[in-house]
Copies of this chain bind each other. A is one copy, B any other.
Amino acid sequence: MALVVQKYGGTSVANAERIKNVARRVAAYYRQGNQMVVVVSARGDTTDELIALAREISPRPPERELDMLLATGEQQSIALVAMAIRELGLPVISLTGPQVGIITDNAHTKARILEVSSERLNAELAKGRIVIVAGFQGMTIDHDITTLGRGGSDTTAVAVAAALKADVCEIYTDVEGVFTADPRLVPDARKLEEVSFDEMLEMASLGAQVLQPRAVEFAKQYGVRLHVRSSFSEAPGTIVREGREVEKEIVVTGVAHDRNVAKIGIFGVPDRPGIAYRLFSALAADHINVDMIVQSAMREERNDIAFTVGKDDLAKAVEVVARVNNEIGAQGYVADEGVAKVSIVGAGMITNPGVAARMFEALAEENINIEMISTSEIKVSCIIRAEETEKAVRALHRKFELDKLA
């Protein structure tokens, strides 16, 4: 008997038919003798609809109240999934994040999980029940409802799996696993059988929108074995785990891209210690996630600093920059939403020199201008114009021969 945590995303529970599908899959696992905990997201576009509703009332709604509103999406899903499973004659109970005891900090709309209580979950499992848990939500120690940010249900699933020491955490999505590139852009992209946590982490944070980066971090930290697979098929997906064998021939595992990127450039920053600290700590205080940061060479004792944020955070980031610029005496700034990020990822990269150069070559051959570059041990990322994303991803997939099995 295994303890299985499954997570179903919004498309998997978008309507009554799909909810019944999820119920049948969960029932099959349960009947095989597994203990089942199922984490679900809000149905389809519910979250977007609720945000639109909030904006009709207030252009920038208070985040505590936004969380109060958004948390209802997942609460509806768990009730409906529980009804569908009961309809199949099985014992089941739904629990909200607060009911489970998922405690977070109070960074509303992107709260971090501090603790997951296993008490109520274990009590319900001990009664033989299938437990349906609302993803994406938790509560502060003061009982305020929080949400974990987009994709937060993945994090809920992994955190619950870690708390329960589950045998596996299956993440069901609308794709069949992790691919060498987005199959919508690259028709001959291949499904990967396995990736390491680090590779997945780079791919996830670089916009292969299969798994939430924080979920992968969590899984790596607690050694939770992930299985990313499709809720519309029985085919195995991609296993994400520690220390997979890196085959020597595979240098680049995949090409990732992210269109949810905006760039802010600050120019004429005085070259004094503590400037970067003031800027980025101010952004952090407003819970703005900064991704790439590039600082150019000194020029007449003044620097240029460029960084990227998610498009959602651009307005907030610009406010912070405008304020901090005054304090630090920078000359000005530009904000640019028309960019995208393309990246190559692979654990084999670290021992293979010249990989970055091949990437730049591929982009140059397509006449694609590179606006920012950032590198780590296992990835290279470039900021380009958004409209060239598709061309760039295809060129990179071809250049690194990802369509061919090594």
Contacts and interface: CB of A to CB of B under 8 A. Distances in A.
Contacts of A62: 82-83, 86
A6 to B, nearest CB: 18
A36 interface: no
Contacts of A16: 53, 56-57
Which of A76, A83, A98 has the most chain B CB atoms closer than 10 A to its own CB?
A83
Contacts of A388: none
Interface stretch (A63-71, A273-281, A325-333): A63-71
B80 A54 contact: yes
A26 interface: no
Given A62-B86, A86-B62, A99-B143, A54 B69 contact: no
Given A68-B82, A75-B68, A57 B94 contact: no
Nearest to A59: B87
A252 to B, nearest CB: 45
A79 B69 contact: yes
Contacts of A64: 93
A38 to B, nearest CB: 14
A94 B82 contact: no
A19 interface: yes
A106 to B, nearest CB: 13
Contacts of A118: none
Contacts of A98: 98
Interface in A308-330: none
A367 interface: no
Interface in A6-36: 16, 19-20
A83 B71 contact: no
Contact of A58 (B65, B84, B96): B84
B83 A72 contact: no
Nearest to A73: B72
A16 B96 CA distance: 27
A50 interface: yes
A20 B20 CA distance: 38
A37 interface: no
B82 A76 contact: no
B79 A54 contact: yes
A128 interface: no
A143 to B, nearest CB: 6
Contacts of A79: 54, 65-66, 68-69
A57 B19 contact: yes
Contacts of A68: 75, 78-79, 82, 94, 96
Contacts of A338: none
A61 interface: yes
Which of A61, A76, A144 has the most chain B CB atoms closer than 10 A to its own CB?
A76
Contacts of A145: 96
A51 to B, nearest CB: 11
Nearest to A66: B79
A54 B83 CA distance: 8
A19 B94 CA distance: 31
Contacts of A86: 58, 61-62, 65
- 10 residue pairs, one from A and one from B, having the closest CB atoms: A69-B79, A72-B72, A16-B56, A68-B79, A61-B83, A58-B83, A58-B87, A65-B79, A65-B82, A57-B83
Interface of A: 16, 19-20, 50, 53-54, 56-58, 61-62, 64-66, 68-69, 71-72, 75-76, 78-80, 82-84, 86-87, 93-94, 96, 98-99, 143-145
18 contacts: A16-B53, A16-B56, A50-B76, A54-B79, A54-B83, A57-B80, A57-B84, A58-B83, A61-B86, A65-B79, A65-B83, A65-B86, A66-B79, A68-B75, A68-B79, A68-B82, A68-B96, A69-B83
Given A57-B83, A61-B86, A98-B98, 4 more contacts: A53-B80, A57-B80, A65-B86, A65-B94
